């Protein structure tokens, strides 16, 4: 699992496999190459490394965190 965090550091989604979920556990998109697409397959954001940007690259949406275990036994 990878978190999707805003530039201010607030998590607003997460990725499991290639599916993007809201914090309410609802699937909202998928990772497809250099894009995040909505569930209909339309590009909504651009991926550059771990950065998530608007399609025109003028706005930073957020960042994907590094991979984390889904096992929460601390």
Instruction: Residue 44: give the domain boundaries.
Output: 2-64
Question: Which residue reads 């998530």 in tokens?
Answer: 52
First-last CA distance in the chain: 17
74 pLDDT more than 50? no
Task: Give me the pLDDT at residue 71, please.
Answer: 63
**In this predicted model, what pLDDT tens digit does every residue of 8-67 receive, in sequence order?**
999 999 999 999 999 999 999 999 999 999 999 999 999 999 999 999 999 999 999 998
Distance CA 54, CA 74 (A): 36
Residue 32 lies in a domain: yes
46 within a domain of the structure (yes/no):
yes
Q: Which two tokens stand for residue 6?
A: 């805003």
Q: pTM for the complete prediction?
A: 0.86
Q: What CA–CA distance (Å, rounded) separates 52 from 59?
A: 9
**50 falls within a domain:** yes
70 within some domain: no
Number of folded domains in the chain?
A: 1
pLDDT recorded at residue 68: 80
Burial class of residue 6, CB neighbours in 10 A (0-12, 13-18, 19+): middle
Q: What pLDDT sits at residue 72?
A: 56
């Amino acid at each position: 699992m990878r978190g999707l965090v805003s530039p201010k550091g607030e998590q607003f989604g997460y990725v499991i496999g290639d599916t993007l979920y809201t914090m309410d556990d609802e699937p909202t998109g998928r990772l497809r190459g250099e894009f995040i697409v909505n569930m209909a397959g339309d590009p909504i954001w651009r991926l550059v490394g771990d950065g998530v940007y608007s399609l025109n690259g003028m706005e930073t949406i957020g960042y994907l965190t590094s991979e984390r275990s889904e096992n929460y036994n601390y």
